[in-house]
Amino acid sequence: MNLIEHLAIVPAYVVSGLLVGILVGMTGVGGGSLMTPLLVLMFGFHPTTAVGTDLLFAAATKTVGTTIHSAGKTVDWQIVRRLATGSVPATILCLLLIAYFGVTSKTVTSMISLTLGVALLLSAVMLLFKDLIVAGINRRFPDVGLHSPPFVTVLVGFILGILVSLSSVGAGALGTVALIILYPRLPIVRIVGSDIAHAVPLTLLAGLGHWYLGTINFHLLESLLIGSIPGIIAGSYLARYSHDRVLKMCLGAILAVVGTRLLMK
C-alpha cells in the first residue's frame, strides 16, 4: 500500500482545495462560499457532510489567519466577544435542531440547502455591491455605527451563527460588511482581523458539533487541506499582480449562479 492509498487522498479533492485556496488567497473570501456548493453539486456529498467538513476546514485555515492578525494587533477582542455572545448560542441551537430532526432527514437537508442558497446569494450581493450598500446606508443613516449599542453586534453574531452552522457560509463577506456598517471608524484591517478571529470559535464549535453528529468526512478534509495550504500561499503571492475588483466581481457572479442553482434543486 503506497502513501496516497494509506492516507486515502483523492486527487480531485486535493485539486479542489488547491483552486479554492488560490481564490481565497487572492480575494480574501470564498472558502466556504465555494467549497460547500462544490462538494454538494460537483462531488455529490450530502449537504450535511459538506457543511460539517467545510466547517472544520475553515476552523483550521482561519486559526492561522487569526494568529497572524493577533500578532499584528489587528484584532478588536471586544467586538469578537460581542459577536461570539450571539453566535455561540445560535450555533448550539442549530446543532440541537439538526440532532432532533436527524442529520439525514428531509427536513434538515432542505433546511441546509435553502440556507446555503440564501447565504450564497447574500454573499454575492455583498461582494458585488458592498461599496454601494455601505455608502447608501451611511447617507440614509449618517449616525449609524457611531452610537450602536452592543446588543446590535450580538444580534449580528446570532444571525451569523445560524447561517454558518447551517451552511458554513456567511462569516466572511456578510460579517465584514456588517462590521463596516457598525464600526465605520475602525480601520478596515481591524475589521477583517476581528471577523476572522470570530470565525475561529464559531466554525470550530459548529464543526465539533457536526463531528459529534457524525457528519464529518475526515478523508475528504485531509485531501482538501493538503491542496488548500499551498493554494492559499500561492494565491497570496498572486494577489500582488491581480485586479482585486475584477476577481471579486467574478467570484460574486459565480456565487449568485451557484446560490440560484441550489435554491432551484
Distance in angstroms (rounded) separating the CA atoms of residues 195 and 84: 11
Q: Which amino acid is at 242?
A: S
Distance in angstroms (rounded) separating the CA atoms of residues 166 and 115: 6
C-alpha cell at position 262? 441550489
**Residue 172 falls inside a structural domain:** yes
What's the number of domains the chain is made of? 1
DSSP state for residue 73 in the 8-state scheme: T
Q: Which amino acid is at 231?
A: G
Q: What is the average pLDDT value for the chain, to the nearest integer? A: 83
Residues with Cβ within 8 Å of 2's Cβ and at least 6 positions away in sequence, in order, are: none
Domain that holds residue 129: 10-263
**Residue 5 falls inside a structural domain:** no
Tens digits of residue pLDDT in 113-129: 888 888 888 888 887 88
pLDDT score, position 99: 92
**Residue 163 falls inside a structural domain:** yes
Tens digits of residue pLDDT in 89-108: 999 999 999 999 988 888 98
CA dihedral of residues 189, 192, 196, 198 (deg, nearest 10): 100
Tens digits of residue pLDDT in 157-192: 999 999 989 988 877 778 888 888 888 878 877 887
Residue 38: pLDDT band by 50, 70, 90 thresholds?
confident
DSSP state for residue 146 in the 8-state scheme: T
Residue 4: pLDDT band by 50, 70, 90 thresholds?
very low
**Residue 3 falls inside a structural domain:** no
pLDDT score, position 205: 93
Distance in angstroms (rounded) separating the CA atoms of residues 11 and 190: 37
**Residue 1 falls inside a structural domain:** no
User: Within 10 Å of residue 105's Cβ, how many Cβ atoms?
Assistant: 13
pLDDT score, position 148: 73
User: Within 10 Å of residue 77's Cβ, how many Cβ atoms?
Assistant: 12
**Residue 223 falls inside a structural domain:** yes
**Residue 133 falls inside a structural domain:** yes
Residue 2: pLDDT band by 50, 70, 90 thresholds?
very low
Residues with Cβ within 8 Å of 130's Cβ and at least 6 positions away in sequence, in order, are: 173, 177, 180
**Residue 2 falls inside a structural domain:** no
Q: What percent of the chain is modeled with pLDDT above 70?
A: 89
Q: Are 115 and 161 a contacting pair, CB within 8 Å?
A: no
The answer to whether residue 3 scores a pLDDT higher than 70 is: no
Residue found by looking up cell 470550530 in the block: 204
pLDDT score, position 171: 73
Q: What is the mean pLDDT of residues 78-97?
A: 95
Give me the long-range contacts of 238-243 (CB less than 8 A, separation at least 24). Answer: 238/22, 238/25, 238/26, 239/25, 239/26, 239/27, 242/26
Residue 27: pLDDT band by 50, 70, 90 thresholds?
low
Residues with Cβ within 8 Å of 31's Cβ and at least 6 positions away in sequence, in order, are: 20, 24, 54, 57, 58, 61, 172
